[in-house]
Amino acid sequence: MLEKKQIRKTPFRQEVLKLFKASKNAISLKEIERNLTSFDRITLYRTLKLFIEKGLIHEVLHSSGKKYALCKEQCDEHQHQHNHLHFHCSSCKESFCLKTHIQDLNLTGYIIEQTDLSVHGVCKKCNN
């Protein structure tokens, strides 16, 4: 996956990528730090920035801060393709991408260039 995005493989980058692959939901910086064996904070920030720039992960904006999620769509270093909603569960505190299409919003006369849409509530798992 790193080679496909033209990112040089290092043990640290592989470890960070492994965290994203293992997570089904968006993860916070604190969660990433908690799961790394040892790290330099500057190297972690640079790695996250590089992963975002290369279209490997994307930011999920949340009222309590940022979270990060693995890109599932065809993102690259030129453009992220995230025309979907992010759901934040108030019960389990998980954040995840919803398979929706922002283009379905009927905004006649407007051109949507970027979206940062979040939905807050109780997820299916917690609602049962």
* Cβ contact 89:123 at 8 Å: yes
Mean pLDDT, the chain, whole residue set? 81
Q: Does any domain span residue 6?
A: no
Q: Is the pLDDT of residue 91 over 90?
A: no
Q: Is the pLDDT of residue 3 over 80?
A: yes
Q: Is the pLDDT of residue 82 over 80?
A: no
Residue 5 has which token pair?
Answer: 């995005």
Q: Is the pLDDT of residue 80 over 60?
A: no
* Cβ contact 101:126 at 8 Å: no
Cα separation, 100 vs 85, whole angstroms: 6
Calculate mean pLDDT across residues 35-50. Answer: 94
- 54 or 93, greater pLDDT: 54
pLDDT value of residue 118: 73
Q: Does any domain span residue 59?
A: yes
Cα separation, 70 vs 80, whole angstroms: 12
pTM of the predicted structure, to 2 decimals: 0.71
Q: Does any domain span residue 75?
A: yes
Distances (CA, A) of 25 to 3, 71, 86: 23, 11, 10
Return the CATH number at 26.
Answer: 1.10.10.10
Q: What's the total number of domains in the chain? A: 1
pLDDT value of residue 45: 96
Q: Does any domain span residue 4?
A: no
